[in-house]
Amino acid sequence: MYHFTLYLKGSFYIYMVASMDEAYINEIRKDFPILETKVREGVPLIYLDNAATTQKPRQVIDAISEYYLKYNANVHRGIHALSEIASEKYEDAHSKVAKFLNAKFSEIVFTKNTTEGLNLVAHGLRNLLSRGDEIVVTRMEHHSNLVPFQIVAKETGAVLKFIEMEDFEKLDLNSAEKVITDKTKLVSIPHMSNVLGTINPVKEIAQIAKEHDALMLVDGAQSVPHLKIDFKNLGIDFLSFSGHKMLAPMGIGGLVGREEVLANYEPLLYGGEMIRNVDYDIATWNDLPWKFEAGTPNVSGGIGLGVAVDYLQNIGMDKVHQIEYELTKYTLDRFEELDFVKVYGPDAEHRGGVVSFNVYNDSGQLIHPHDVSTLLDENGIAIRAGHHCAQPLMKSMHIPATNRISFYIYNTKAEVDRTIEVLKQIKDIFN
Please write the tens of the pLDDT for every residue from 368-412: 999 999 999 999 999 999 999 999 999 999 999 999 999 999 999
User: How far apart are the C-alpha atoms of 354 and 175, rounded to whole Å?
Assistant: 25
b (16+ CB within 10 A) / e for 280-291: eeeeebbebbbb
With bands split at pLDDT 50, 70 and 90, how would you rate the model's confidence at 20?
Answer: low
In whole angstroms, give the CA distance from residue 71 to residue 63: 11
pLDDT, residue 300, reads 98
Contacts of 399 (CB under 8 A, 6+ apart): 358, 366
Local structure of residue 217 (DSSP, 8 states):
E
Catalytically active residues are: 389
Report whether 151 contacts 135 (CB < 8 A).
no
- How high is the pLDDT of residue 77? 83
Q: Left, alpha or beta for 313 (phi > 0: left; psi -120 to 50: alpha)?
A: alpha
| Dihedral over Cα of 179, 180, 184, 186: its sign | positive
pTM of the model: 0.93
Which has the higher per-residue pLDDT, 8 or 326?
326
Query: What pLDDT is stored for residue 42 in this prediction?
Result: 86
pLDDT band at 218 (very low <50, low <70, confident <90, very high): very high
pLDDT of residue 40: 81
Q: Identify whether the C-beta of residue 46 lies closer than 8 Å to the C-beta of residue 380.
A: yes
Mean of pLDDT values over 59-86: 95
Q: How far apart are CA 114 and CA 218, in angstroms?
A: 10
pLDDT for 6 beyond 70: no
Between the alpha carbon of residue 385 and those of residues 196, 266, 370, 374, the distances in Å are 14, 38, 6, 9
pLDDT above 60 (res 234): yes
Q: How confident is the model at residue 17 (pLDDT cuts 50, 70, 90)?
A: very low
* Lowest mean pLDDT, pick from 16-30, 307-321, 354-368: 16-30
Quickly state the pLDDT bin for 426 (edges 50, 70, 90).
very high
% residues pLDDT > 90 (the chain): 91
Count of helices and strands (H, E) across the chain: 14, 22
SS3 of residue 337 by DSSP:
coil
Residues 126, 116: contact at Cβ < 8 Å? no
Dihedral angle computed from the Cα positions of residues 175, 137, 353 and 357, in that order, rounded to the nearest 10 degrees: -80
**Those residues with Cβ within 8 angstroms of residue 329's Cβ, 6 or more apart along the chain or in another chain:** 348
Q: Taking all residues of the chain, what is their mean pLDDT, rounded to a whole number?
A: 94
Q: Per-residue pLDDT tens for 294-350? A: 999 999 999 999 999 999 999 999 999 999 999 999 999 999 999 999 999 999 999
- Taking residues 173-202, report their average pLDDT: 98
Position 63 scores a pLDDT of 98
Question: 173 with 121: CB under 8 angstroms?
Answer: no
* Average pLDDT score over residue span 33-57: 95
Instruction: Sketch out the chain's domains with CATH numbers.
Output: 4-48+316-430 (3.90.1150.10), 61-314 (3.40.640.10)
Average pLDDT of 122-130? 94
Round to whole Å and give the CA distance between 272 and 281. Answer: 16
Q: Kindly state the average pLDDT of the residues 48-54.
A: 98
Mean per-residue pLDDT, 212-221? 98
